[in-house]
Amino acid sequence: MNCVLAYPYGSALTTGRLKEQAADFKVTENLGFEPSGEGEHLFLLVKKAGMSTHELIDAIARDFKLKPRDIGYSGLKDKLAVTQQWLSLHLPGQMHQFNMPEIDAYTILQQSWHHRKLKPGTHRTNSFEVIVRNLEGFTEDTERQINAIKSAGMANYFGQQRFGERLDNVSRALQIFSNPRKTRKLSRNKKGIYLSSLRSHLFNQILSSRIDSGYWQEPIEGDVYMLSGSQSIFYEALNDDIRNRYKSFDLSSSASLFGDGNSKLADKAQAIEEQVFSGHPEIVDCLRRLKAKLQMRPVRVAVEDLNVEYQEKEKTLLIKATLPSGSYFTTLLDHFIDTRDRS
């Protein structure tokens, strides 16, 4: 289910190629805190290339003679990329007698002990350094879009990764979840992927509808707000203080990841969501059957340290940026350059 989404600064006007080689896409996970230095979980900052996060976990489980469930991670990182990410290894009683095994499929850059297992979404940000090749021009309009992102942030869409290589996760999820026998056969991980694709699709449609309606630069009546850098949400009637805090990125409006619970949305914000939900009854009914739990996600995020260098002779863009955990670099690119593979 591939739908055209609205972008706050207009459609991308140039095209390029992403991930021509692994070294073109570099990402580093930033924890946002220091491990305590003691405990029974060994935190490792691991550099990998040509491996998915799950493949890395399997390799580490073999090398350290652990079960994959004893290894924690915060984020899933691309396979065709050079990435640095944190993992935790549950090694009770080994803090003072641990011997590092020989490894060759990946590189350990840092290590420290901590008292808790690393859980998904724990890290604060991801820093990217990415090369886009075969660029078809670099216009003033593209530069205008980049400058707008620097000052007003980006729409926090879920990236195409959520919807599968063929962008068919939503249709596959509806097909599988309509059959109890097939649903029971799903692994926990696969079930989570399909469930997330359904909620992500609805969220993207809500955000697109808000942008189409002109609600981007300011919050709207009935919004629920999320504090920047946290998952804390609150409702407050729209006023000048809220508008000023919105402009300064102290907070952002949020939208629903559909599920059971009270979002506390009202007025215009609630009406937009109800219209989207009524337009996708098969997804809503499926999520209700699965007893999905309501969550909220900010509709926009600030892009830190965004720097774009156009190299005309090589027809490349070198892009550096830092994004909050849970936001997609491919979504950032979609605001000003079309990198879709049309082969």
Residue-range domain boundaries for the chain: 33-123, 154-301
Identify whether the C-beta of residue 15 lies closer than 8 Å to the C-beta of residue 141: no
Identify whether the C-beta of residue 302 lies closer than 8 Å to the C-beta of residue 246: no
Q: What is the model's pLDDT at position 175?
A: 92
Per-residue pLDDT of the chain (343 residues; tens, 9 = 90+): 557 899 999 999 999 999 888 899 999 999 999 999 999 999 999 999 999 999 999 999 999 999 999 999 999 998 999 999 999 999 999 998 888 998 989 999 999 999 999 999 999 999 999 999 999 889 999 999 999 999 999 999 999 888 887 788 899 999 999 888 888 888 888 888 899 999 999 999 999 999 999 998 899 999 999 999 888 999 999 999 999 999 999 999 999 999 999 989 999 999 999 999 999 999 999 999 999 999 999 999 999 999 999 999 999 999 999 999 999 999 999 999 999 875 5
Any bridge partners for residue 129, and if so which?
Answer: 26, 320
Q: What is the model's pLDDT at position 70?
A: 96
Question: What is the CA 253 to chain-centroid distance, rounded?
Answer: 17
Whole-structure pTM value: 0.92
Class assignment of domain 33-123? Answer: alpha beta
Q: What is the model's pLDDT at position 3?
A: 75
Identify whether the C-beta of residue 88 lies closer than 8 Å to the C-beta of residue 72: yes
Residue 244, C-beta contacts closer than 8 angstroms, at least 6 positions apart: none
Q: What is the model's pLDDT at position 1?
A: 56
Q: Which helix (H) or strand (E) holds 185?
A: helix 180-185
> Hey, how many other C-beta atoms are within 10 angstroms of the C-beta on 178?
13
Strands (E), the chain: 17-18, 25-30, 41-49, 71-73, 82-90, 107-114, 125-133, 154-155, 224-227, 233-235, 251-257, 295-298, 300-301, 304-311, 316-324
How far apart (Å, rounded) are the C-alpha atoms in residues 338 and 11?
9
Which two three-digit tokens encode residue 70? 């004893």
How far apart (Å, rounded) are the C-alpha atoms in residues 39 and 24?
37
Q: What is the model's pLDDT at position 251?
A: 95
Q: What is the model's pLDDT at position 186?
A: 85
Identify whether the C-beta of residue 117 lies closer than 8 Å to the C-beta of residue 41: yes
Any bridge partners for residue 245, and if so which?
Answer: none
Told to judge if 212 belongs to the known catalytic residues of this protein, a careful annotator would answer no
Identify whether the C-beta of residue 158 lies closer than 8 Å to the C-beta of residue 200: yes
Any bridge partners for residue 35, and if so which?
Answer: none
How far apart (Å, rounded) are the C-alpha atoms in residues 85 and 89?
13
How far apart (Å, rounded) are the C-alpha atoms in residues 247 and 187?
43
> Hey, how many other C-beta atoms are within 10 angstroms of the C-beta on 307?
11
- The residue from 58, 63, 70, 78 that is catalytic is 78
**Contacts within 8 Å (CB) and 24+ apart, 313-319:** 314/133, 315/133, 315/134, 315/135, 315/136, 316/16, 316/131, 316/132, 316/133, 316/135, 317/16, 317/131, 317/132, 317/135, 317/138, 318/129, 318/130, 318/131, 319/128, 319/129, 319/130, 319/131, 319/132
Q: Which amino acid is at 328?
A: Y
Q: What is the model's pLDDT at position 20?
A: 87
169-177 and 188-212 helices cross at what angle (nearest 10)?
120
Q: What is the model's pLDDT at position 230?
A: 85
Residues in the chain: 343
What is the greatest pairwise CA distance in the chain? 61
Alpha-helical regions (H) of 15-157: 53-64, 140-152
Domain 154-301 fold: Pseudouridine synthase (3.30.2340)
